[in-house]
Structure 1
Amino acid sequence: MPIAEDPEPRPSEGRAPDGADPSGAGGKDPFADLVLDEEFVRGAAVKEPAGRTRMLSARWQHTPPVDPGGRRSVNDGPRKAGRFGRAPKAVDPWGNARPRPRWQAPLYVLLTVVVLLGALNVDGVRSWFSTTFGAAPDRSGTSAAPVAPETARPTGAPSPVDEEQPTVDRPWAGSPAKDWPTTMDAFDLPQAPGAIGVFGAEQVAAQVKLVKDYLAAANLDPKVIAGGRPDAALAMLERESRDKLETALARPSKEDDPTSAFDRFDPREAVQVADGVRLQGRISVEGDGEKGVVVHTDFTYVYALRPGPEAAQRATAQRPTPGAPAQSPRSAPPAPPAPGDGAVKPVGLLLPVADVPGDTRTARTIVRKTEDFRFYDPGKYQNNPKKINFGKRRSEVGNTACEVYDGFLHPRFPQFAQPDPERTGPATDPYDRSKELTARGECGTITRS
């Protein structure tokens, strides 16, 4: 092994030719008293590199080192991003790839279980989806552009539509109301009415909005349609009009029938489909001749309904109540079409709706109302100009039991068809809005629903 040479050769005592002592140590070894303690090491000005370090430094001066790849150290710094901006794989301080958590396997197992459960209970999945996210879109034909609200009375009935049996998934199959508006917000006056009588333009606009809010609360609120109490609508009425309807709700009769103002169904018999209301009509405003305001409305509401859990029993037990004709004409449904799918059960084998597999056949009830809402001059009458007073009102209902006055409408479902009582009224088209409503009080049939 080579030995490193001293930087300066040690002087040999008495070996100089002239006998002089070149070190000036007087013949004494200069390192004899040197103590290599901690103080000496800390005070050293130059640190001697290790032998391997000196060897590698000399070698790399002529041949630089080559990175073999695959391993990294903590001194290499952060790894560059991969292709397409993907994050680099995580490594430990020695350059080895860190193990990733195996989360894919549990996820695949969970998804497999969900798919199997869904395949075993397709009807439950459909029902949950319809309840959570609304009914599936109606696929009963090519989707047409939405029908615009009326600006004047139409000259005839809507065009015929191919007859199709509506179901829960396709509630508007075979109905002219398929593309009608769904909210009262779609109906505005053709132009601002301006000031009328003692009411300024802003007051008249507020009165029109109040009427629209009342119509929505009375006819479009899902809770009211499901048989609930129409508290929001009642709160918008003047005291006299509100008291009359309160009496009708508490003690319904043919003289005080709350369905003349509120479209309500008994949830044990009929349940509204999620996407279950279409409406068409118009609003107009004029003075009442006494410095007040009259808001005229003419609307047709179409309700898509599925059978309730007691629909079959009620269809067989329900019979019309004898008495005088109804104040508003009511019509029975048309003759039921032949079953078009395998979901229809014979009347004697009916199950509750929740237990019927596949698409459940539905029905539609069509209600047309013409109503006048009055706002009197507060200088002449003791009334609140921000509350509604009823004026003339008329209504007509298609597909409901005749002469039944219990505060609810009673649609007939084709799968529960029963012999109808004798009907003396003519067959009418409930979608025809070109004619005036009359108070003829006849119980007839409708040509379509």
Structure 2
Amino acid sequence: MPIAEDPEPRPAAGREPGGSDPSEAGGKDPFADLVLDEEFVRGATVQEQSGRTRMLAARWKHTPPVDPGGRRSVNDGPAKAGRRFGRKPKAQPVDPWGNPRPRRRLEWRAPLYVALTIAVLLAALNIDGLRSWYAGRHGDSGSAAHTPVPTVAPETAKPTTAPPKVDDQQPTVDHPWAGSPAEGWPNGTEAFVLPDARPIGVFSADQVAAQLQSVKNYLIAANLDPKVLAGGRPDAALALLDREERDRATKALTNPSKDTDPTGWFSRFDQREAILVGDVVKVQGRITVEGDGDKGVLVHTDFSYVYPLRPGPDAAKRAASPPPPAGVPQPTRPAAPQDGTAKPVGLLVPADDVAGDTWTTRTVVRRVDTFRFYDPARYRVDPKRLVFGEGGGSDSANAACGVYDGYYHPQFDQFATDRPEAPGTRPTGPATDPYDRREDLSTDGGECGSVSRY
């Protein structure tokens, strides 16, 4: 079939009827029977380019095309090379035909999904830690929002009101003072504010000041020394006592019993059962001084100590075991030699660490003591040693009754059981508030009572 671009040569002569031979040369017109229909167009082997295509082809012979980018047009020519923040522009990648190749974008979503999946799995494996984290930042949904307890200064006189009620919250290792009015009490030795020293009896003001300092040192050594609280021997406190007082305390430490219980002098805990949380003990009370009417000096002390405690490695086992009969010491420590040099429990059995959301408890101990300094000209005493006067005593809250082994034994809520208690250990007295310091300490050694809070 002839094509439009390459027609057959027309004959030199010949005429066709009907005007089929416009040249009037007498030949036959090769295009006379040609029909330019759709079939003819589709069958063409060579197609004419559009005018725009030919124009662009001629221009690109001298100026290659560039990536227009944004709203630029190819008619704008190549973009000017520039720098951003002093950096050289990167070369635009092109394919083998010279066309710009799109840059590969970094896929950031896949690593994010992996990280989120790992975080969800870790939270599921430690749901208690997640609950503690949320409660610490957004408040515990199962209890009221924590209200800060106001700071309370050391006492200067007997209080007339009980500490206000605070939010009832479960204390933990991270928050050992939750739910306790002692949160606002002084820390440790800050509560021991000595009164102004003045001449009393045969003692000068400087001598009275030294006596007051000696009493303070004893209170620290007997009730706040970390080694003593961990069950150690209170050597520093014993060294401050008069010979007779020291012998009595040493005998109690060596052979504890109902009549000679070391907790009447010292605060100690069995490390296998209860371990002090941190190094802060809340203390509230006062020290007063007066003459004894016989040219001597009386120093009165009345303090409450609040000890935050976490379970030791054997706490759960001991809570589930039957309690001993009343008056019989528990075998919570090795048999002590008669010289009273037994090693503290904390040095024999290492205590395991626990998580920050582990439940803790508190034991409240109130001690009322009177220290007497005799006139050395009338009595054979050491004026630099402490002698206990009359009217002293101690009381403890959240400590097992009827156990006289030289240690306090607190109750942890997570190990509470319904096992029957031995006679003498069951609380039978009225419930009291161990933080209420308005009343004098009862020293009748009566019933084992319960507490309203601790």
**Superposition TM-score, scaled by structure 2 size:** 0.60
Gaps in structure 1 of 5+ consecutive residues: 1-115, 127-135, 325-351
- 1:182-224 per-residue CA deviation (whole Å, 9 max, x = no partner) reads 122443245x230001110000011001101100000001110
Give the deviation of 1:423 after TM superposition. Answer: 2.6
What is the letter of the counterpart of residue 292 of structure 1? G
What is the letter of the counterpart of residue 382 of structure 1? R
Q: How does 1:201-350 map to 2 (within 5 A)?
A: 201-323=205-327
Partner of 2:203: 199
Distance 2:324 2:401 in 1: 6
SS for the counterpart of 2:389 is strand
Q: Is the 8 A contact 1:171 1:276 kept in 2?
A: no
SS for the counterpart of 1:152 is coil
Distance 1:353 1:170 in 2: 20
- 1:374-393 per-residue CA deviation (whole Å, 9 max, x = no partner) reads 11111111111011001132
Partner of 1:364: 362
Distance 2:351 2:167 in 1: 27
What is the letter of the counterpart of residue 293 of structure 2? G
Query: Quick one: percent identity of the two aligned structures?
Result: 58
Pairing partner for 1:151 from 142, 156, 159: 156
- 1:39-64 per-residue CA deviation (whole Å, 9 max, x = no partner) reads xxxxxxxxxxxxxxxxxxxxxxxxxx
Pairing partner for 2:173 from 168, 174, 182: 168
- 1:302-323 per-residue CA deviation (whole Å, 9 max, x = no partner) reads 0000000000111112514324
Q: Is the 8 A contact 2:229 2:268 kept in 1?
A: yes
- 1:355-375 per-residue CA deviation (whole Å, 9 max, x = no partner) reads 755511000000001000111
What is the letter of the counterpart of residue 153 of structure 2? A
Partner of 1:448: 453
* Residues 1:318 and 1:291: Cα distance change in structure 2 (over 3 Å): farther
What is the letter of the counterpart of residue 409 of structure 2? H
Distance 1:266 1:295 in 2: 31
* Residues 1:360 and 1:302: Cα distance change in structure 2 (over 3 Å): same
Gaps in structure 2 of 5+ consecutive residues: 1-118, 130-135, 140-144, 329-349
Distance 1:247 1:290 in 2: 31
Partner of 2:189: 184
Q: How does 1:131-150 map to 2 (within 5 A)?
A: 141-150=146-155
Distance 1:445 1:201 in 2: 44
Distance 2:198 2:407 in 1: 39
Partner of 2:387: 389
Distance 2:293 2:322 in 1: 47
SS for the counterpart of 2:317 is helix
SS for the counterpart of 2:307 is strand
What is the letter of the counterpart of residue 141 of structure 1? H
What is the letter of the counterpart of residue 266 of structure 1? D
- 1:113-164 per-residue CA deviation (whole Å, 9 max, x = no partner) reads xxx9xx99x99xx9xxxxxxxxx9xx98354553100011111210001100
* Residues 1:353 and 1:188: Cα distance change in structure 2 (over 3 Å): closer
Partner of 1:82: none
**Farther off after superposition, 259-268 or 431-440:** 431-440
- 1:101-121 per-residue CA deviation (whole Å, 9 max, x = no partner) reads xxxxxxxxxxxxxxx9xx99x
Partner of 2:416: 417
SS for the counterpart of 1:274 is coil
**Aligned CA-pair RMSD:** 2.6
Q: Is the 8 A contact 2:191 2:286 kept in 1?
A: no
What is the letter of the counterpart of residue 272 of structure 2? R
- 1:401-432 per-residue CA deviation (whole Å, 9 max, x = no partner) reads 10000010000000110236343211110101
Distance 1:221 1:318 in 2: 31
Distance 1:447 1:149 in 2: 23
Count the aligned residue pairs.
291
Q: Is the 8 A contact 2:186 2:283 kept in 1?
A: yes
SS for the counterpart of 2:395 is strand
Larger Rg: 2
